[in-house]
Chains A and B, each alone.
Chain A
């Protein structure tokens, strides 16, 4: 080896030593979380293989027989079930609507709260706004019935007293979807706004003052100072949320559904629950779950790449 090459090697080794000397604490810090992930996330994940196998209560995942069709039998079974596609359609529909209306809502709320001149009032509004988040869906669906039932619901009683016709909020599929979205937003907007409010405190007040001095109106200040300050938070949350585009919540649809609207309320989680948990088709349930996860990851990667194109840092 030439003297130069040796010197290069030595320098590399020196750099490496320096690197580890400086950064070993970081690896030490990461050790605990990584162990945690291996034990509690990755080991149970080996059970995901039951999506490709015939589930049996008594056998371990490794022993179960492989399902027909090269293991894809349950995927085929799911995809050829008409109800699966209705469930998928409903999931996408509710999620996209929820995204379109529900994602901006907390941002708007945070902006509105930020503009409140009275500090006390702001504090009160914040606290009250996130109260609905604490009610379980069982309670909320009970409340929704009390309010929106066609015959005995409070809203319709008031409408009839005022001379209007009752509105069937929960009986007709289309109406139900809007009610569902609205109630979902009501439940989560105050809570979701908290992150944005925290992020808003990180915006330099000097920027506001500078804008005011330049004569910017309220709306322009929001557009040029507030929103950019929230930008990275918004992007991160949006990317994360895209991963859940085919995932489906269970509590809300299950609690709020009724037999007249199953054509729109049966989402994938309910599909899985009825077949996999109450029924015994655990392999089918696992197959659908795996499908959801894979699609979710694809969406997350896609959105992340798009975000990077726009110069954002992205998730990784």
Chain B
């Protein structure tokens, strides 16, 4: 079929917008990358924008050789995978039963859960609770307390609700119990939302550092990579203290900071393209079956 001319113009506009967007989003990240490859002198002159000046790999060699970065990266990856699996399991366990209109107590449970999204206790109460549970400075504090996100659960539930009830009803008539229905019908149709939420959980865990900062400050072995990064990069508070102390410790150079940022960011950036193949049409398959 020959494409109409207006459609071609439309395509053109769309492509133009996308190119603009790519530039806007990519260039700043590119800038950080480029800085990591530049020499300290050129960074000081604030000369580096689009191209590395006086290419210098020392920052990377320092970062890559340092075992504490490598270990932290590996550990964070393991932690992320484990947490994502745990979180997705909890999310599905929570969301699925709530799509059954006939379930007694459904409304109460819904409100019960929703309230926790807006009322939260805060850091000190959490700290005290974790202390009583023995979670302070334990790596488990990174995995358990924040494992289920109500927001994500609601997304999952909404998605599951949009799958035609006819599919479920016919299975129920055939005598299938809810677990079987979940496994044989809902899960296969939910690959795109499962992929999406897994991505959300994974990125949340990978990028998160404040829970380690508050609740696991003394267990350096299990610092997530972003916490390591945080200590290298942040400088706002440190100067006040340095002023008082009369001595200061040299912070990391600009190049090392940039290299560390790249080191900590690139792995997770690669996850989405990899997950994209799971974003296939789920509902259409179901419609065809029906």
Could you list which residues of chain A lie within 8 angstroms of chain B, going by C-beta atoms? 19, 22-23, 25-27, 29-30, 32-34, 36-37, 39-48, 61, 109, 112-113, 115-118, 121, 123-136, 138-140, 143, 146, 152, 154, 186, 190, 194-195, 197-199, 201-202, 204-206, 217-218, 232-233, 236, 240, 243, 282, 285-286, 289-290, 293, 296-297, 300, 313, 315-316
Q: Which 5 A-B pairs have the closest CB atoms?
A: A44-B121, A47-B125, A26-B97, A33-B94, A316-B110
Q: Specify which chain A residues have a CB less than 8 angstroms from the CB of B97 in the assembled complex.
A: 26-27, 29-30
Q: Specify which chain B residues have a CB less than 8 angstroms from the CB of A146 in the assembled complex.
A: 31, 46
Count the A-B residue pairs with Cβ separation under 8 angstroms: how many? Answer: 218
Q: Specify which chain B residues have a CB less than 8 angstroms from the CB of A45 in the assembled complex.
A: 119-121, 125
Q: Are B14 and A116 in contact (CB under 8 A)?
A: yes
Q: Are A128 and B25 in contact (CB under 8 A)?
A: yes
Choose from A32, A46, A140, A236 the contact partner of B154 (Cβ within 8 Å): A236
Would you call B93 an interface residue if the criterion is a C-beta within 8 Å of the partner chain's C-beta atoms? yes
Q: Are A139 and B148 in contact (CB under 8 A)?
A: no
Q: Specify which chain A residues have a CB less than 8 angstroms from the CB of B161 in the assembled complex.
A: 313
Within 8 A of A (CB), among B256-279: 261, 265, 268-269, 272-273, 276, 279
Are A131 and B192 also in contact (CB < 8 A) when A26-B100, A316-B111 are?
A: no
CA distance A125 to B114 in the complex (A): 35
Known: A22-B177, A29-B96, A316-B107. 14 other contacts (CB 8 A): A30-B94, A41-B121, A44-B121, A112-B18, A132-B25, A133-B203, A135-B261, A140-B28, A146-B31, A197-B279, A201-B280, A236-B154, A236-B155, A296-B118
Are A25 and B178 also in contact (CB < 8 A) when A121-B15, A243-B118, A316-B111 are?
A: yes
CA distance A197 to B192 in the complex (A): 10
Would you call B244 an interface residue if the criterion is a C-beta within 8 Å of the partner chain's C-beta atoms? no
Find the A residue at minimum CB distance from B162.
A232
Q: Specify which chain B residues have a CB less than 8 angstroms from the CB of A240 in the assembled complex.
A: 117, 151, 154
CA distance A138 to B251 in the complex (A): 15
Question: Which of these binds chain A: B3-11, B60-68, B76-84, B215-223?
Answer: B3-11
Q: Are A36 and B234 in contact (CB under 8 A)?
A: no
CA distance A69 to B207 in the complex (A): 43
Q: Are B279 and A198 in contact (CB under 8 A)?
A: yes
Are A123 and B125 also in contact (CB < 8 A) when A143-B28, A297-B115, A297-B118 are?
A: no
Choose from A34, A40, A112 the contact partner of B109 (Cβ within 8 Å): A34
Choose from B15, B126, B280 the contact partner of A44 (Cβ within 8 Å): B126
B255 CB to closest chain A CB (Å) equals: 14
Q: Are A139 and B32 in contact (CB under 8 A)?
A: yes
